[in-house]
Structure 1
Amino acid sequence: MNDEDIRAAVQEHLDKHPIKPWYNPFQTADIDLVRGRPWIEDLARIPSQTLKVEFLPNSTDGTAVVFTQEALYTLFRPFGKLLDIQPQPLESKVEPRYATLRFIRPRFAVMARNCMHGYVVSAAEGGGKAGTRFKINYERKIKMSMIRDWIVNHPRIVIPALAALVAAITVIIFDPVRTFFIKMKIKSSLHTEEYPVVQWIRKQVSKANRIYFGDRRTDPRGLAAIWEDRQNDISQLQAWLTETVETFIVIYGPRGSGKRELILDQALKGHKYKVVIDCKQLQDARGDTAKISRAAAQVGYRPVFSWMNSISSFIDLAAQGMIGTKAGFSETLDAQLSKIWQNTAVAMKRVALEGRHKDDKDAHMSDDEYLEAHPEKRPVVVIDNFVYEPENSIVLDKLTEWAAGLTTANVAHVIFLTTDSSFSKPLSKALPNQVFRTIVLGDCSLEVGRRFVLSHLDTEANDGAEGLKESTKQNLAGLDDCIKVLGGRITDLEFMAHRIEAGETPQAAVGRIIDQSASEILKIFILGTDSVTPQWTREQAWHLIKTLAHAKDGSLLYTKVLLSDLFKDNGEATLRALEQAELISIGSVKGFPRWIKPGKPVYHAAFQQLIENKTLKNRLDLVILGQLIGQENKSISKYEEELQVLGSLPKHPRELTSRIEWLLRKIQGSQTKILQYESDSAILTKLLYSEK
């Protein structure tokens, strides 16, 4: 049989018994006659629908014939439908000559290459005297070198496009995951104490007295007396959480007044959905990466690739040097925080809407209408330690802006816990023309403080040895006087209770607190001004310490302090800075500053202890006198300069007589003060020299 008969026989067999590949049941195998010399190879050459047919001479002394499109069509059309035949351009100098054939499908090109590679076109078929041999290879429509060259030559397009692609992938893949973890954080899904199984196990183990999970006492810190005294504030706060009002709730009070415990342990005790954000952690973080990590950790935003921000910054820097503009890989702290807060807002809204059902009577409402009608469904955001600092303005501005969006959109209730009396200024930027709902927490009364200490000791006694209660009662002599010294600051009362439990008397415990407070004041406000440049001087701080220690009722009039010589220049800003640092507290009457008191009740006793140190008192008084003498000398120099200008005039108009007399009286008054200050300085210097 000849080749053609064999091909026809095989084709007939395949028509009756078709072979179909497993990956494509609609396709059948096809055959054709191999006319050339196929090159069997295992090179990494991926088949394509385009073939490059090169025309080579069949002998060394022969020449190849360049075939026309009609001739190539006749030879290659039997293998499959052709889309195009492109001959080599006439101006091209590439040897050997070639033509490009593009089939409609890659399988047709594979068939043509396997059958026609090495085929020699005879002279009778138009291949020349010695014949022309075909060399066939796959030709890609777009070469990898072309792609590489285009990428290298167009960085202004490629780099921003790559940055946009990375951002899109991040949003599509990671944002749903991050929102899921934030929802878990809001719903406290990882807090297993609420699960009935865990509660049962704890109960059984506690009965067996083998392992103990959690706290055995219902009131471990003995705060029941404090909460009874502040029951009105707790009820008011809980009522606000059931109302729809687009404003902030602010809990203001000095440090140690129990703001956090009041909110989390009492007002929000039965509220499931809450998130606590501690501004102090964000402010103390060093660098943008640390701030992003801490912000993400507080709301459960993960995964977070904060380390990628530094790498992206280097990429942006390199791109800027190459193309002249930033590529957009790195994001600012502002943008990163916006992403975190935005994902948190989305998760909060989903949590608030989880309780909706199609058969509810308000199912016809939109999501916004439902949230407005059901304020009790909204999560609660507690922003703790909110103190506005200019160096952290980006973080706090972004946080307050986000909180305002949550409030106005009825997504969540927002509660600020702050010790900063000027909290209204930064919050008003986010919610202008709004009156904040404010609860002011002061120190508890002496009676409540006494009940707090006694309840704390009774609680500890009931959980400890049987004889502890009797021993503590024997050491409570003078407790009322000690509580009066400490005032109603919860942290100080609790510290005293712990020391009494340890066997100390109330007087010894209070003495320890006073000593510690005096050391802190001395370090921060007196000696600490050498290494830093705060908004106050040691002279101003000592003046307040001394005058408050001598005050009969422990307070000073705000206006009188501003009229003193040490507070003439920018006195109000200095007093606000000292209030922020908790050396003093400023009381207001109808919004106007009226009086100044120590920052803590125990500070009054600490001030008295400091002024009893004669060496310290004399040295600082001497420093104050030196500063006052310097101020008066500057004033005299200013008056003398004006007198010199007036004296240089050719004539002395009588209209200037009153001005000259006023300047002379000022110089005389300043000189009188200087003489008095120098006299007092001499006495203090003599006392310091006489010390042994």
Structure 2
Amino acid sequence: MVKRALPSDKIPIKVTEILPRLKDGGAFVKFSHPPDVSAREIEENVSKLLKEKPVKPFFSPFRSVQAGLVKGVPWLEDLHRFPHSRLRVEFVPKNPGEEAVELSQETLYSLFRRFGKISEIKSQPWDSKVLPKYAYVDFGFVRDAIMARNCLHGFVVTEELGGGKLGTRLRMSYEQRTKPHRIWDWMANHPRIVIPVLVALLTGLTVVVFDPIRSFFVKAHVSGTFRLNNTRVVRWLRQQTSDIFAFQREKAEQAGLETIWTHRKDLIDQIQKWLLETAETFIVVQGPRGSGKKELVLEQALKDRRNVLVIDCKPIVEARGESSTIKKMASAVGYRPIFSWAYSISSMADLAVQSTTGVKAGFSETLDSQLQKILQTAAGALTDLGLEGRRKSDPDFSLPPDAYLEAHPEKRPVVVIDNFLHKNDGKTIVYDKIAEWAAALVQSNVAHVIFLTTDSSYSKSLSKSLPDRVFRQAALGDLSPDVAKRFVLSHIHNDDASRSTKGSEAPSQEKKPENRVVQLSELDECIGTLGGRLTELEFLARRLQAGQTPRQAVADITDQSASEILKMFLLPGKTTSDSEHKWSAEQAWYLIKALASKGSLRYHEVLLSDTFRSSLSAPDGESALEGLANVELIGVTTANGRPLSIVVGKPVYLAAFRLLSRDPVLSAKMDMAVLAELAKVESRTIEKAEAELATLGALPTLPSQTTGRVTYLLAKIETSHRKVEAYEAEMAKLKKTLSKED
């Protein structure tokens, strides 16, 4: 490279030594020259020659080699310092102990301009006391700064050039224009700007990366892409081994359900017809627990329907904590991946940032926004599933998605929301978000929505989302005695057939035909006691299969129901003080005792009774009745939209109520609690009247206008006193009963 740049036939010099400087990207070349040629002339000739015939190394084909005469004393070091475009030029004395002068910008420009374009020269501030004096020279290119440093380092500026009488030596070093870690320091010092920007970037990354993945998993969850039961291999194996393995319910149970489906064939056909209509409204299937709502809809009305999404509200509402609620909701719709743990961490990070900067960073999201995000993703996936069968050859392919789905209601997915209003006393935000989301689905023709609920007042909650729509309603009540009997008999007959086919058990005395006929003769009476609730009928059928008589089975079921009522409603502490119940044990006992004797009560008659009107622990009577109805101790019948009467929550509860009311110890104990509370109410009434009389008696002169008031208060005290005496007399009798009975 040196020979090409300094040809001996054109440049009268002799190269004596070459010192490579790989760190600076060049080399020092020592040479000797004739005495009649000055070094200045040699520099000019070399520069002119390199311009006419540029020498370009193979690793830098776009830049040619440059040369400059070294005027100072180069510092050949191997420190971990690398070239930069800024030079720090320090002005030091020529000899130690002498004085150096600060060069002006004009002098520095004249010295350094020959090596390249200078972008800026910054002198030391005039009030700076830093020694030695210095200045910054900024070059446009790093290679020009390298050339200047290596050529002028240690150069002595004479007096003629502006270096003072004694001369000034230049000492140069590279310096970065920006300090290291400056970007990080700026980010750390401006959290109010940086943190929202980072949140926006992370949110955008989440949307771009995770949303398509989550939408894919929602579609796979609804369509059952990854379910083994839907694969061809499993379906073929099921057909081939149907006689060996049982993939469905037992035959007895299946036969019993067929009896019910035959009875409710009209209702199943009606739901299927509604799914073929374009009405933008909900389908609501309402019925008590154990009436078979879910089985009727999923296994009969939607038996051959594809793309069915089932959302069970019960685990979502019963989840503890907001993170668990989000996780349960995501699992219900197949929304994954879900980072529920990040919800708590982001909340703590947001709190920490707010405590240090005073501004919310926006890391954490509310439960409302998280649920909204999950449901929006599910809505988009349902739209894609509804449009899967559309082809370009279809005549209505050009229609918008909502118009296409409106024209083809049979292609819309079906969303079944089970256990809606399961617990209507808490976490209403879950029900509200689901209802709003369902309303958006039906209004935009994305999907059909079916609500399954046990709450008879569901219209209050759903009307908030669809105030201008009339719901499609299907009510499931208890089975009629005839259908209930056929359901139980189908269980028993199919069980007998399966046992006779297996032949593994010897017939016992209990299972002989004549004994079975005798047992089943009691079935009509027992079904009348149990009613037509599906769960109780299945329980009865299993006990009959186990060898019990119908009366024994009904007695056991009644005893179990009575124990549940005693534990849930009559034990101490079941009042509003535990922030969970809205009723008192005395109110529950009043209804149990009254329904056991009458079977039905007038709604407002109950509200006007002393136990509900003057209760000390549950003062709101209507809330108490609503709470007892929600837990199915009682049922409230309506007429023209208003509550009419109060009945038992389950048919079997009537027998349980009578069993509890016949218990002398329990009756005496609960009656004493009711009378004690009523006595307290009357005592408070007396105290208030006496306090008012004392106030009136303290007046200097009693006005004539207060005579009527005094008479009223005295009569009220007398009435309440008589009631207290009657209550105490009755309580004394009950105490005798408790002391004698076991």
Output the TM-score relative to the length of structure 2: 0.80
Q: Does 1:607 align with 2:607?
A: no
The answer to whether 1:512 aligns with 2:556 is yes
CA deviation after TM superposition for structure 1 residue 595, in Å: 2.1
Asked if structure 1 preserves the Cα contact closer than 8 Å seen for 2:574 and 2:585, the reply is: no
Alignment check: 8 A CA contact 2:583 2:627 kept: yes
Question: How far has the Cα of 1:599 moved from its partner?
Answer: 1.0
Judge conservation of contact 2:562–2:657 (CA < 8 Å) in 1. Answer: yes
1:148-191 CA-partner distances (Å, limit 9, x unpaired): 44334333333333333333333333233222222222222222
The answer to whether 1:215 aligns with 2:248 is yes
Alignment match of 2:452 (pick from 400, 417, 425): 417
Q: 1:528 to 1:149 in 2, by over 3 A?
A: same
Q: 1:62-108 deviations in whole A, cap 9, x for unaligned?
A: 777766667766776677655445454555444445554555556x4
- Aligned residue for 2:387? 353
Alignment-derived partner of residue 158 in structure 1: 194
Q: Which moved more, 1:573-582 or 1:467-476?
A: 467-476
* Number of the residue aligned with 1:24: none
* Pair 1:371–1:90, CA change in 2 (3 A): farther
1:286 aligned residue (312, 320, 340): 320
Q: 1:397 to 1:360 in 2, by over 3 A?
A: same
Q: Structure 1 86/642 Cα, relative in aligned 2: closer, same or farther at 3 Å?
A: closer
Residue 535 (structure 1) aligns with: 582
Summarize the Cα distance change of 1:70–1:670 in structure 2 as closer, same or farther, 3 Å threshold: closer
Residue of structure 2 in register with 1:631 after alignment: 681
Matches within 5 A, 1:545-556: 545-551=592-598, 554-556=599-601
| CA distance in 2: counterparts of 1:196 and 1:218, whole angstroms | 25
Greater mean alpha carbon deviation, residues 391-400 or residues 598-607: 391-400
Flag structure 2 segments of 5+ consecutive residues without an equivalent. 1-13, 16-28, 30-41, 615-619
Structural mapping, 1:177-216, within 5 Å? 177-204=213-240, 209=244, 212=245, 214-215=247-248
Give the CA deviation at 1:266. 2.0
Which segment is superposed worse, 581-590 or 112-121? 112-121
2:548 is matched by which residue type in structure 1?
E
Q: Go from structure 1 to structure 2 and tell me whether the alpha carbon gap of 1:120 and 1:264 turns closer, same or farther (over 3 Å shift).
A: farther
Cα distance in 2 for residues equivalent to 1:369 and 1:403: 18
496-505 or 581-590: bigger deviation? 496-505
Whether contact under 8 Å (2:593, 2:657) holds in the other structure is yes
Q: Which moved more, 1:667-676 or 1:363-372?
A: 667-676
Output aligned runs, 1:284-683, within 5 Å.
284-387=318-421, 389-461=424-496, 466-467=502-503, 471=511, 474-475=515-516, 476-477=519-520, 478-529=522-573, 533=578, 534-551=581-598, 554-569=599-614, 570-639=620-689, 650=701, 653=704, 666-683=716-733
CA contact (8 A) 2:215 2:335 kept: yes
For 2:536, give the aligned amino acid.
D
Q: By how many angstroms is 1:238 displaced?
A: 2.2
Q: What value does the CA root-mean-square deviation take over the aligned residues? A: 3.8
Which residue type is aligned with residue 209 of structure 2?
Answer: I
The residue type equivalent to 1:452 in the other structure is: F
> Deviations 1:550-575 (Å, cap 9, x if unpaired)?
22xx3223233233221224322221
3-state DSSP class of the match of 2:681? helix
CA distance in 1, matches of 2:246, 2:149: 77
With 271-280 and 74-83 compared, the bigger mean Cα shift is at 74-83
Give 1 or 2 for the bigger CA radius of gyration.
Answer: 2
**Cα separation, partners in 2 of 1:309 and 1:89, compared to 1, 3 Å:** same
After superposing the two structures, state which structure 1 stretch, 143-152 or 345-354, moved more.
143-152
- Residues paired across the two proteins, number: 678
Give the percent of matched residue pairs that are identical in Structure 1 and Structure 2.
45
SS at match of 1:198: helix
Quote the offset at 1:320 in angstroms. 2.4
Match of 2:24 in 1: none
SS of equivalent residue, structure 2 residue 464? helix
Give, in angstroms, the shift of residue 17 of structure 1: 8.2
CA contact (8 A) 1:39 1:114 kept: no
Q: How far, CA to CA, are the matches of 1:235 and 1:82 in structure 2? A: 90
Structure 1 contact 48–109 (Cα < 8 Å) conserved: no
Cα distance in 2 between the residues matched to 1:410 and 1:117: 81
Residues 273-325 of structure 1, C-alpha deviation per residue, up to 9 Å, x if partnerless? 23222222122222222212222222222222222222223322222222223
In the alignment, the residues of structure 2 paired with residue 588 and residue 181 of structure 1 have an alpha-carbon distance, to the nearest angstrom, of 44
Contact 2:92 2:171 in 1 (8 A): yes
Provide the rounded CA distance (Å) in 2 between the counterparts of 1:368 and 1:469: 64
**One-letter identity of the residue aligned with 1:389:** N
**CA 1:516–1:84 in structure 2 vs 1: closer, same or farther (change >3 Å)?**
same
CA distance in 1, matches of 2:482, 2:632: 25
Q: Which has the higher contact order (CA 8 A, sep 6+)?
A: 1
